[in-house]
Amino acid sequence: MEKKGLLIVISGPSGAGKSTVCKALTKKNKFWISVSATTRAPRKGEVNGVNYYFLTEEDFKDKIKNNNFLEHAEVYGNYYGTPRSQVLKAIEEGKDVILEIDIQGALMVKEAYPEGVFVFILPPSMEELKKRIINRGSETSESFTTRFNSAYREINYVSKYNYVVINDTVDNAVRNIESIIMAEKCRVDRVKDEILNP
Ligand code: ADP
Ligand code: 5GP
């Protein structure tokens, strides 16, 4: 029987650096990255099927009805969802799957798939978070305030996760996540069947 892959969920407040860290992590390692569906409009340079599957709200809601998502959430006025069958198939095939999703979605995945590895990314300080959201330049002043205020509330969810990683430098954050994944792969409850019933 093929050994199952790990499901690694990377989550945390907007601006903490989730996408940046995931990009660096997957450049160095062979992971299967889940492509989410969303109702938000593509940003410049984003490609359908690569960055996201861009759907109309109607199509998205049909997929919710048909139970096509492992999790879905409304984030800042748009819907986002993780395709269920593709992710579960990749895990069954032994691939280690990364989901980079918001906190509500991560908690839904934890209910559906508790054996996942849940990693919370934090900025080194709230001052640095503010700078990062501003430097990213993707927000209006209204959406900046919404995201920054949400970040304060969202930090409380850290206790629902298995691991926390401070994204001070991208290299440090990547190294810590690689160590977490390595340790998870050595956990007795994940490998004991293989050892005791070869
Ligand atoms: P998220 O995906 O969590 O919303 P991003 O990956 O978009 O966050 O990062 C937010 C901003 O912070 C981006 O401009 C990114 O370049 C910057 N950033 C991310 N990680 C770091 C870091 N370790 N040091 C400095 N800037 C960072
Ligand atoms: P963005 O619009 O900036 O690409 O993403 C906004 C937020 O949606 C980020 O916090 C990102 O992690 C989250 N997100 C992206 N894909 C998904 C998904 O499939 N499910 C959930 N719940 N959140 C997602």
User: Residue 86 sits in a domain of what CATH number?
Assistant: 3.30.63.10
Cα-to-centroid distance, 34 and ligand 2 (Å): 11
Q: Let me know whether 58 and 111 are in one domain.
A: no
Q: What is the pLDDT along the chain (198 residues), one digit of tens a residue?
A: 568 999 999 999 988 999 999 999 999 888 999 999 999 999 889 999 999 999 999 999 999 999 999 999 998 889 999 999 999 999 999 999 999 999 999 999 999 999 999 999 999 999 999 898 888 876 777 778 888 888 888 999 999 999 999 999 999 999 999 999 999 999 998 888 888 887
Closest of 13, 28, 20, 15 to residue 179, by C-alpha: 28
Q: Which DSSP string corresponds to 66-113?
A: TT-EEEEEEETTEEEEEEHHHHHHHHHTT--EEEE--HHHHHHHHHH-
Ligand 1 within 6 A of CB of 136 = yes
The predicted model scores a pTM of: 0.93
* Distance, CA of 142 to CA of 139 (rounded, Å): 8
Could you tell me if 81 and 133 lie in one domain? no
**In the listed set 67, 95, 123, which residue is the last one of a domain according to the structure?**
95
| Spatial distance between the Cα atoms of 124 and 16, rounded to a whole number of angstroms | 9
The finding on whether 15 has its CB within 6 A of some atom of ligand 1 is yes
The first and second tokens of residue 194, run together, are 């293989």
Among 95, 113, 135, residue at a domain's last position: 95
Could you tell me the distance, in angstroms and rounded to a whole number, from the CA of residue 12 to the centre of ligand 2? 10
Show the domain range for 150.
Answer: 1-31+96-198
The answer to whether the annotation marks 17 as part of a ligand binding site is yes
Domain count, the chain: 2
Residue 12 assigned ligand-binding role: yes
Cα angle, residue 83 at apex, residues 32 and 182 outer, rounded to 5°: 30
Name the closest-CA residue to atom 22, ligand 2. 105
Atom 15 of ligand 2 has which residue's CA nearest to it? 101
Q: Are residues 26 and 47 in the same domain?
A: no
Which ligand 2 atom sits closest to the C-alpha of 78?
Answer: 2
